[in-house]
């Protein structure tokens, strides 16, 4: 076990708490292993009726994965990065298939790996502080941890919009899109946790404490998003945005011009494939093959340099335009791994 994660049983409830506040609880391999161990220990324990996942102090639930480690590994042989992805995706899959009710409290920043932990849970609690996003294309990555599954199932191409732009959703938007099952005021979370740990029915507690989240602003752009992101070729998305004289299209186009063309194309294919996946394990298997390659490509290493290391926010993408990213490169990135290297559920 790692000090970055605490697990214990309280009443009939298994408690998992992310405890890496200085990194907004970004996941390490050891944290993912700890979550897997706890879930396995409680799986056959009749005294544990549900599992509650939250975070210790800090600005959010989980900001993602250990990006600096991934970049350092990707600059070498990629082995440590592949080990992280393999373990993280096993954790994602275990949560997705877990029989006992799971409850994630998405208070504050919930991005990347935090989305991967929360979305498989049966109950997903948003608050007025929730900021949920998959911002990976801004650092030359793609929305993994099941992003191809969850985002492709959102209505009106909103998933494609979120995958490419990295737009941050508030709590009301998460509830409206089904990414959250309940909206609670942050001030009510401690009571909710105590009552659940005290043995009250999860559904009863969350319904009792639910509040009106207010307007889901993204829905005001629903028709625009459906029209502008209707097609799965990045060049056609750019053409649609360029041909629209509205302020939303102009703002969105400006955002996309800052993202990695290569991983925007990867993201669109991931969602197109993900929409047809019948088994979440197949999604994880494909994302692992893609991730194991993308983490060693130029755009990821350059994106981390620009956004996280040097913080100049001026990445030099290569290729620099959608037209420069060939279908052949995308096919190489998505090629299945050899049988002895591919991801397995465990």
Residues in a beta bridge with 62: 110
Q: Which of 66, 107, 144, 299 is catalytic?
A: 144
Q: How many CB atoms lie within 10 A of CB 36?
A: 18
- The answer to whether residue 283 is catalytic is no
Q: Which of 34, 58, 60, 65 is catalytic?
A: 65
Q: Please state the rounded mean pLDDT for residues 265-281.
A: 98
Residues 6+ apart with CB under 8 A from 80: 29, 69, 72, 73
pLDDT value of position 47: 97
> Residue 327 belongs to a domain with what CATH number?
3.90.226.10
In angstroms, the CA 96 to CA 283 distance is 12
Percentage of residues of the chain with pLDDT beyond 90: 98
Question: Which of the four pLDDT bands, split at 50, 70 and 90, describes residue 346?
Answer: confident
pLDDT value of position 147: 98
| pLDDT > 70? residue 130 | yes
Is 170 part of any domain? yes
Is 130 part of any domain? yes
6 and 30 Cβ atoms separated by less than 8 Å: no
The residue segments making up the domain with residue 117 are 5-334
Is 217 part of any domain? yes
Starting at the earlier edge strand, list the strands of the sheet with 109-111.
Answer: 60-62, 109-111, 131-133
63 and 7 Cβ atoms separated by less than 8 Å: no
Domain count, the chain: 1
Q: 3-class DSSP state for residue 18?
A: strand
Residues in a beta bridge with 15: 8, 52
Q: Please state the rounded mean pLDDT for residues 159-165.
A: 98
Q: Please state the rounded mean pLDDT for residues 182-189.
A: 98
| pLDDT > 70? residue 284 | yes
Q: Please state the rounded mean pLDDT for residues 143-171.
A: 98
Is 222 part of any domain? yes
Q: Which of 136, 224, 283, 287 is catalytic?
A: 136
Q: Please state the rounded mean pLDDT for residues 87-113.
A: 98
Is 340 part of any domain? no
| pLDDT > 80? residue 251 | yes
Does the pTM exceed 0.85?
Answer: yes
Is 162 part of any domain? yes
Is 180 part of any domain? yes
| pLDDT > 80? residue 278 | yes
Question: Which of the four pLDDT bands, split at 50, 70 and 90, describes residue 332?
Answer: very high
Percentage of residues of the chain with pLDDT beyond 70: 100
Residue 89 CA neighbour count, 13 Å, CB half: 31
- The answer to whether residue 65 is catalytic is yes
Is 339 part of any domain? no
In angstroms, the CA 206 to CA 86 distance is 33
- The answer to whether residue 138 is catalytic is no
pLDDT value of position 1: 59
CA dihedral sign of residues 242, 247, 250, 253:
negative
Q: Please state the rounded mean pLDDT for residues 2-29.
A: 96
Question: Which of the four pLDDT bands, split at 50, 70 and 90, describes residue 2?
Answer: confident
Which of 323, 322, 161, 319 lies closest to 252 in space, CA to CA? 161
Q: Which of 113, 114, 140, 171 is catalytic?
A: 113
Residues in a beta bridge with 123: 103
- The answer to whether residue 113 is catalytic is yes
């Amino acid at each position: 076990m790692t000090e970055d994660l605490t697990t214990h049983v309280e009443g009939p409830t298994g408690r998992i708490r992310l405890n890496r506040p200085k990194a907004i609880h970004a996941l390490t391999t050891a944290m993912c292993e700890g979550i897997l161990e706890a879930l396995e220990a409680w799986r056959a324990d009749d005294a544990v009726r549900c599992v509650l996942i939250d975070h210790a102090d800090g600005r959010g639930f989980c900001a993602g994965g250990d990006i600096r480690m991934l970049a350092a590994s990707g600059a070498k042989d990629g082995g440590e990065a592949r080990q992280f992805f393999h373990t993280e995706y096993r954790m994602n899959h275990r949560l997705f298939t877990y029989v006992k009710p799971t409850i994630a409290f998405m208070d504050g920043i919930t991005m990347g790996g935090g989305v991967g932990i929360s979305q498989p849970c049966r109950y997903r609690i948003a608050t007025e502080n929730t900021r949920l996003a998959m911002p990976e294309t801004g650092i030359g990555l793609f929305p993994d941890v099941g992003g191809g599954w969850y985002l492709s199932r959102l209505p009106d191409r909103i998933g494609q919009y979120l995958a490419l732009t990295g737009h941050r959703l508030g709590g009301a938007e998460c509830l409206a899109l089904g990414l959250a099952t309940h909206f609670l005021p942050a001030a009510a979370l401690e009571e909710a946790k105590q009552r659940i740990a005290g043995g009250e029915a999860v559904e009863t507690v969350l319904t009792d404490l639910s509040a009106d989240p207010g307007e889901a602003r993204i829905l005001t752009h629903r028709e625009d998003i459906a029209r502008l992101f209707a097609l799965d070729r990045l060049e056609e998305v750019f053409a649609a945005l360029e041909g629209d004289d509205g302020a939303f299209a102009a703002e969105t186009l400006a955002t996309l011009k800052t993202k990695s063309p290569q991983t925007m194309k990867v993201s669109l294919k991931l969602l197109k494939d993900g929409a047809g996946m019948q088994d979440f394990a197949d999604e994880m298997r494909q994302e692992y093959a893609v991730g194991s390659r993308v983490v060693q490509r130029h755009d990821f290493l350059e994106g981390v340099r620009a956004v996280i290391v040097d913080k100049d926010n001026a990445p030099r993408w290569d290729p620099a335009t959608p037209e420069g990213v060939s279908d052949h490169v995308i096919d190489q990135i998505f090629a299945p791994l050899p049988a002895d290297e591919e991801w397995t559920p465990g």
